[in-house]
Amino acid sequence: METARRAGDLTWPELPAGLAPAMRRELPSLSAEVVDAIVEAVPAYRRPLQGEFAAGIRMGVDQSLQRFVDLVEDPDADVTAMHEIVRRLGAAEQRAGRPLEALQSAYRVGTRLSWRRLGRVASAAGVAPDEVQRLAEALFLYIEDLAALTVEGYAGAQAEQAGERARRRRAAAHALLAEPQDPGGLQEAAEQAGWRVPDRVAVTVLIDDAAARRAARALGPDTLVAGYGTANEVVIVWPDPDGPGRAAELRRALEDADAAAAAIGPAVPTADAHRSLRLARRCLRLGGRGVLGAAPWSADDHRVAVTLAAAELELDELARARLAPFAELRPTTRARLQETLLAWLRAQGHRPTVAEELHVHPQTVRYRMNQLRDLLGDDLDDPEARFEFELALRARDLGVRAERRRG
């Protein structure tokens, strides 16, 4: 009756221990035959057997066959070292740039030849047919285990390589965005990352890391992605943003990536990448306060708001000083007159335009402007004062919209 024991992590069939010495005598010639067959049958290995390449193949085949015979002799034999060899073999194949299918093909070739030779040895030794069948089962289990460990090593090397590539690309992004930028350091970081330094870039800032990476994949391999700042910000550095249709491509990628909060900095020369980043971050903060409408937000589309946001504290002081005459008015009157004044300033005093913007009669505009003249006096005729009024009202308008958003 068939029994089974453990061999490493495999359920190992019971085999005649006396088989091992006869099989071991076959190993030198079998190993050489397997190596020759692999080189002949697998195109990826069809090259002169010399140097490190030859040593690697021969060692892998020799060790695999020897450990199998060890397990036939003693299913409790320690194969830990063999497992590590096979993992390293998978990793080496990945680093050499050979496809995993090449190594799997080599296993198939080796298994077929090994079974042909070892099956003959078993038959010649008078092993019963059911024991020969168990030997085949053991060989296939063993090779299956080695193949799985090889895949593990291959995948581990892939992950390590991808991690190193991502690290180098992050380093290139940080070198690009540094202020001041070191051109020599940037060039070196870019070369290590395999990234071409473009003439112009645009920087997009997002909060959602997954959305950033989806968008970057959609934009192509020339984009860089890196974490930045202390607010979970992720930046996408986007090269050559001025090309035909490129702006639409970026917006589409952000929308397709479900980037709920994303701000796009202006296109700038590469040496000014930090400026695109700064404006994108400022735009992101404004967008998050609810004053710029729906994302993605573009600093180019909101130049005035982004510029005003840079001097928010100073503008608060200006607003307090310039809008002080409105303080004693009732809230509804104050809001109405300030809205009219801003529209009048934007329209350069053209009352029909103001009336159209506010959806009121021109006579209503005349009446309100008379109220404003009584309130503000000659300041309405002073270009410097009018400019300060407009700055103060625009800054107030941003603040009001943000407050409404929070409410």
173-194 pLDDT tens trace: 999 999 989 999 999 999 999 9
Q: Is residue 363 part of a domain?
A: yes
Q: What is the pLDDT of residue 128?
A: 83
Q: What is the pLDDT of residue 307?
A: 81
Q: What is the pLDDT of residue 190?
A: 94
Does residue 344 carry a pLDDT above 90? yes
Whose tokens are 């090779």? That residue is 143
One domain, residues 301 and 208: yes
Does residue 5 carry a pLDDT above 50? no
Q: Between 399 and 125, where is the model more confident?
A: 125
Q: Between 24 and 159, where is the model more confident?
A: 24
Does residue 55 carry a pLDDT above 80? no
One domain, residues 257 and 327: no
Q: Between 45 and 203, where is the model more confident?
A: 203
Q: How confident is the model at residue 237 (pLDDT cuts 50, 70, 90)?
A: very high
Q: How confident is the model at residue 12 (pLDDT cuts 50, 70, 90)?
A: low
- Mean pLDDT, rounded, for 312-320: 78
Q: What is the pLDDT of residue 51?
A: 61
Does residue 343 carry a pLDDT above 50? yes
- Mean pLDDT, rounded, for 343-364: 93
Q: Is residue 186 part of a domain?
A: no
Mean pLDDT check: name the lowest of 9-23, 223-237, 284-298. Answer: 9-23
One domain, residues 303 and 391: no
Q: What are 133-177's pLDDT values in tens digits?
A: 888 888 888 888 888 898 898 888 887 877 888 889 999 999 999
One domain, residues 300 and 322: no
Q: Is residue 59 part of a domain?
A: yes
One domain, residues 328 and 369: yes
Q: What is the average pLDDT score of the chain?
A: 85
Residue 268 domain boundaries: 198-309
Q: What is the pLDDT of residue 259?
A: 77
Q: Among the ranges 10-14, 210-214, 286-290, which has the highest mean pLDDT value?
A: 210-214
Q: Is residue 177 part of a domain?
A: no
Q: What is the pLDDT of residue 400?
A: 47
- Burial-class residue 219 by CB neighbours within 10 Å (0-12, 13-18, 19+): buried
One domain, residues 275 and 225: yes
Q: Which is nearest to 15 in space by CA: 131, 162, 145?
A: 131
- State the Cα–Cα distance between residues 407 and 403, nearest whole angstrom: 6
Q: Is residue 19 part of a domain?
A: yes
Mean pLDDT check: name the lowest of 124-133, 184-193, 223-232, 359-368. Answer: 223-232
One domain, residues 131 and 280: no
Q: Is residue 366 part of a domain?
A: yes
- Mean pLDDT, rounded, for 211-219: 88
Q: Which of 110, 135, 161 is the last residue of a domain?
A: 161
Q: What are 241-276's pLDDT values in tens digits?
A: 988 888 888 888 888 887 778 999 999 999 999 999
Q: Is residue 225 part of a domain?
A: yes
CATH at 266: 3.30.70
One domain, residues 231 and 327: no
Does residue 48 carry a pLDDT above 80? no
One domain, residues 263 and 324: no
Q: What are 366-389's pLDDT values in tens digits?
A: 999 999 999 999 999 999 999 989
Q: Which of 293, 309, 325 is the last residue of a domain?
A: 309
User: Tokens representing 250?
Assistant: 């970026």
Domain count, the chain: 3
Does residue 406 carry a pLDDT above 60? no
One domain, residues 13 and 131: yes
Does residue 407 carry a pLDDT above 60? no
- Mean pLDDT, rounded, for 81-104: 84
One domain, residues 20 and 155: yes
CATH at 78: 1.10.490.10
- Mean pLDDT, rounded, for 28-47: 85
Q: Between 99 and 378, where is the model more confident?
A: 378
Q: Is residue 181 part of a domain?
A: no
Q: What is the pTM of this model?
A: 0.56
One domain, residues 302 and 243: yes
Q: How confident is the model at residue 11 (pLDDT cuts 50, 70, 90)?
A: low
Q: Which of 138, 161, 184 is the last residue of a domain?
A: 161
Does residue 32 carry a pLDDT above 70? yes
Q: How confident is the model at residue 394 (pLDDT cuts 50, 70, 90)?
A: confident
